[in-house]
């Protein structure tokens, strides 16, 4: 049965334990290629398409719509046409879901860490081991986000790099206060975070506000930065949709928050009920509303971006990758034309503001190529 390849429930982020099958996107008998979306799965974080990690002929859809299954459970079977149905039946009946060892016990606990930076307790994730000879990649999320915005990306980059992602001050599980309300303030804080985790320099990957922070850090402290990858970043243009930034700050119920969060995605069905509940729980923490209001006022007041660090990136001499979704409703994809000369620019026709989630496989490949051989 060596010719049989299983399709299993993926693990999106360290906290994922199970997923619910929403629907299959391909029929039995379809020739599957690597990266092809094959079925939709909903987790406690997001609903998204499972992209095929292997190529082959889809012989059996094992899981059905509505099934809730653990990570690594069998969803389907790929096999050449000369493999008999009886062999596939035997494979399916004998398949045992392996334990999700990474999600258990001490290893799970050690994947999230906390460190004090200027009196602010910062949560962060660290993957890919501690071999200092491996290049380091630091992921910086956007306004209202947290390190889980990178749940489809961290493990892919951790195959060959040390990977870090933090909850910015006022976000996620970090202390709900901010070190200042300018990109320079936030970039300076990220540099101090790097000091705290003994990260001399890194390839920066920033999304939205985090992209502006990454660009600012490359301009202000170029010796700490090896390259910059910007996903729908702030800092390359003037406009920003304050229906999102202000709406996120003021929304107090699921009904108010849902249309705001849906602005992030080309496909609003990616917004799950659990995602909204988690965001509301975060927004109700003492100090969060004040922190978000301060950042919104300092960075995006009146639907205008207060800082444009992208203009200084060319002078920094750093390799730059810019990724955008053409259907971005938060920061216009037209800003991609302001990328520094020599930057690699990729605009996805069918993505919105969250390309790292909506086009995860493609984004991961772009990041791997961008960071690739640039060294430690």
pLDDT number for residue 104 = 46
The answer to the question of residue 259 being in a domain is yes
DSSP state of 147: G
> Residue 325's closest CA among 296, 301, 358?
358
* Residuewise pLDDT in 10s, the chain (376 residues): 468 999 999 888 767 889 999 999 999 999 999 889 999 998 877 778 888 888 999 999 999 999 999 999 999 999 999 999 999 999 999 999 988 765 444 444 456 899 999 999 999 999 988 888 899 999 999 999 999 999 889 988 998 999 999 999 999 999 999 999 999 999 999 999 999 999 999 999 999 999 999 999 999 999 999 999 999 999 999 999 999 999 999 999 999 999 999 999 999 988 888 889 999 999 999 999 999 999 999 999 999 999 999 889 988 899 999 999 999 999 999 999 999 999 999 999 999 999 999 998 899 999 999 998 665 5
Within this chain, do residues 195 and 96 fall inside the same structural domain, yes or no? no
Within this chain, do residues 116 and 47 fall inside the same structural domain, yes or no? no
Nearest-angstrom CA–CA distance, 130 and 154: 15
99: domain range? 5-103
Within this chain, do residues 122 and 52 fall inside the same structural domain, yes or no? no
Among the candidates 63, 87, 103, a domain finishes at 103
pTM (2 decimals)?
0.83
Within this chain, do residues 45 and 140 fall inside the same structural domain, yes or no? no
Pull the structure tokens for residue 156.
């892919």
The answer to the question of residue 376 being in a domain is no
Question: Does the CA dihedral 167-172-177-182 come out positive or negative?
Answer: positive
141: exposed, middle or buried (Cβ count in 10 Å: 0-12, 13-18, 19+):
buried
Beta strands in the chain (DSSP E): 5-8, 18-24, 31-32, 37-42, 47-51, 56-61, 68-70, 74-78, 112-117, 120-127, 136-140, 162-166, 202-207, 225-231, 320-325, 344-348
pLDDT number for residue 22 = 92
CATH number of domain containing 158:
3.40.50.1820
Within this chain, do residues 112 and 91 fall inside the same structural domain, yes or no? no
Among the candidates 75, 103, 131, a domain finishes at 103
The answer to the question of residue 68 being in a domain is yes
Among the candidates 103, 129, 160, a domain finishes at 103
Within this chain, do residues 58 and 92 fall inside the same structural domain, yes or no? yes
Distances from the Cα of 144 to the Cα of 129, 172, 279, angstroms: 28, 8, 8
Within this chain, do residues 157 and 279 fall inside the same structural domain, yes or no? yes
First to last CA, the chain: 42
Nearest-angstrom CA–CA distance, 231 and 352: 11
* Domain count across the chain: 2
CATH number of domain containing 35:
2.40.50.100
Within this chain, do residues 181 and 77 fall inside the same structural domain, yes or no? no
Within this chain, do residues 114 and 82 fall inside the same structural domain, yes or no? no
């Amino acid at each position: 049965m060596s010719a049989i390849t299983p399709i299993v429930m993926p693990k999106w982020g360290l906290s994922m334990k199970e997923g619910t099958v929403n629907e299959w996107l391909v029929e039995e008998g379809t020739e599957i290629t690597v990266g092809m979306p094959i079925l939709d799965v909903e987790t406690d974080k997001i609903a998204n398409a499972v992209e095929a990690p292997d190529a082959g002929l889809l012989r059996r859809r094992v899981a059905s719509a509505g099934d809730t299954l653990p990570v690594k459970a069998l969803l389907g079977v790929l096999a050449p046409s000369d493999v008999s149905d009886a062999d596939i039946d035997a494979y399916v009946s004998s398949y045992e879901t392996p334990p999700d060892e990474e999600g258990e016990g001490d290893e799970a606990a050690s994947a999230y860490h906390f460190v004090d930076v200027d009196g602010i307790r910062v949560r962060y994730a660290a993957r890919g081991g501690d071999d200092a000879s491996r290049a380091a990649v630091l992921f910086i999320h956007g306004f209202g986000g947290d390190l889980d915005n990178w749940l489809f990306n961290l493990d892919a980059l951790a195959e060959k790099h040390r990977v870090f992602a933090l909850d910015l001050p006022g976000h996620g599980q970090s202390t709900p206060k901010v070190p200042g309300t300018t990109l320079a303030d936030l970039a300076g804080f990220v540099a101090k975070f790097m000091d705290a985790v003994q990260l001399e320099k890194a390839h920066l990957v920033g999304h939205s506000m985090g992209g502006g922070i990454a660009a600012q850090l490359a301009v202000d402290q170029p010796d700490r930065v090896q390259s910059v990858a910007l996903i729908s970043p702030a800092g390359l243009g003037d406009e920003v949709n304050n229906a999102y930034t202000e709406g996120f700050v003021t929304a107090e119920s699921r009904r108010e928050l849902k249309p705001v969060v849906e602005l992030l995605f080309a496909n609003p069905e990616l917004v799950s009920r659990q995602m909204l509940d988690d965001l509301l729980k975060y927004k109700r923490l003492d100090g969060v509303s004040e922190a978000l209001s301060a950042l919104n006022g300092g960075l995006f007041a009146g639907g205008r971006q207060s800082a444009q660090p992208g203009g200084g990136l060319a002078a920094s001499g750093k390799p730059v990758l810019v990724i955008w979704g053409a259907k971005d409703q938060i920061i216009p994809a037209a800003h991609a034309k302001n990328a520094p000369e020599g930057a690699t620019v990729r605009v996805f026709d069918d993505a919105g503001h969250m390309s790292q989630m909506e086009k995860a496989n493609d984004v991961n490949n772009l990041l791997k190529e961008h960071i690739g051989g640039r060294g430690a």
